[in-house]
A and B are shown apart, each in its own frame.
Chain A
Amino acid sequence: MSPRETSPENRSLAPDSAPGDELAEGHGVGQAVLVYVVGLALAVILTATSFYIAGTDLVWAPSIPVALVVLAIAQMGVHLVFFLHITTGPDNTNNVMALAFGVLIVVLVIGGSLWIMANLNHNMLPMDQIMRMQR
């Protein structure tokens, strides 16, 4: 048994990080700014691609909505990592778990609403027929 295991008070604890805490603590201003510059550059590239794709004829038209959604999700990821400093590190477990729960609820609310309403629309008579029946 190593001394490290026998003496728990010697074990250094990694404290949790708050969301938004800088990644590079003690690494100087330059590196902290660099994180934001990289994030901004990636976000600009993704945004510009989104706006370009939305108005182009270069890609197959039905693929455009899918591409836009994928680009948006990628950009949200960029924002989370580079601006909100959410990481996969052990100090960030709580933040990531909360985020995962939030994403679950968002997916349920949006996906569930669209699914149910599409189903109702599908099963409902067209509006003019309902009007005729009420007459």
Chain B
Amino acid sequence: MTAIPYSSDHADPHRLGRGGGHGHAGTRAEGGSAPKRIVVAYGFWIFLLSDIVMFSAFFATYAVLVGATAGGPGGAQLFDLRSTGIETACLLASSFTCGLASIAVSVRNRLWFYVAMAVTCLLGLSFLGLELKEFTSLVMRGDGPSRSAFLSAFFTLVGCHGLHVSAGILWLLTMMAQVFAKGFRADIERRILCFALFWHALDIIWVALFTVVYLLGAGR
């Protein structure tokens, strides 16, 4: 048997072959497949990335149509940056409390889990409330999605994010109920991990959204 003159850490520093490399490179020599927790979270990560790709299509549509106001109002006349600022603060704080809830799960602390999830839920609801208020005031003024291509794209993009947040809140309440009924079981824990990923990803999309739509739009 020929010795490999360097350690396997150098041959395969990221262990893509899972430590194989001594005659059976590329095989999962030890350990077999990854634990279920990692498989589930990785699969959900792929889903989130595909969701982000879907959002990128809406962003591209918005960016193309942002000037097509059909003689109607543009972003500078419509957007209220103060309300956007409060929405952003709500979502950012909710991301933080969602992280605290994940920590509470990892140390098996039910009380802190409920508290952190409830705060996350309230912050998410205030975000949704502000967004609904903005949408209704726009529609009442006659600047609804049928007013111009710009407003159609605006309502599609921001509304799609709002729908995601609504789904996230439903999921959040489900997870609280499941922890209440079943405790921190392994499968419940995996669902909470996926929920946390989802919620943080929504915040990332909101960062792109408030920058591209509101901040860039208000300065136009």
Show the binding face of A for B, using Cβ within 8 Å: 1-2, 4-5, 8-9, 11, 13-22, 29, 32-33, 35-37, 39-40, 43-44, 47, 50-51, 54-55, 64-65, 68-69, 71-72, 75-76, 79-80, 83-84, 90, 93-95, 98-99, 101-102, 105-106, 109-110, 112-114, 117
Contacts and interface: CB of A to CB of B under 8 A. Distances in A.
B14 A20 contact: no
B209 to A, nearest CB: 9
B199 to A, nearest CB: 9
Contacts of B53: 102, 105-106, 109
Q: Is the interface of A mostly helix, strand, loop or mixed?
A: helix
B31 A102 contact: no
B215 A18 contact: no
Interface of B: 3-4, 7-8, 13-16, 18-19, 22, 29-31, 34-35, 37-38, 40-42, 44-46, 49-50, 52-53, 56-57, 59-61, 63-64, 81, 85, 88-89, 92-93, 95-96, 99-100, 102-103, 106-107, 193, 196-197, 200-201, 203-204, 207-208, 210-212, 215-216, 218-219
B204 A50 contact: no
Q: Is the interface of B mostly helix, strand, loop or mixed?
A: helix
Nearest to B107: A29
B38 A8 contact: no
A44 B57 CA distance: 28
Contacts of B46: 98
B30 A5 contact: no
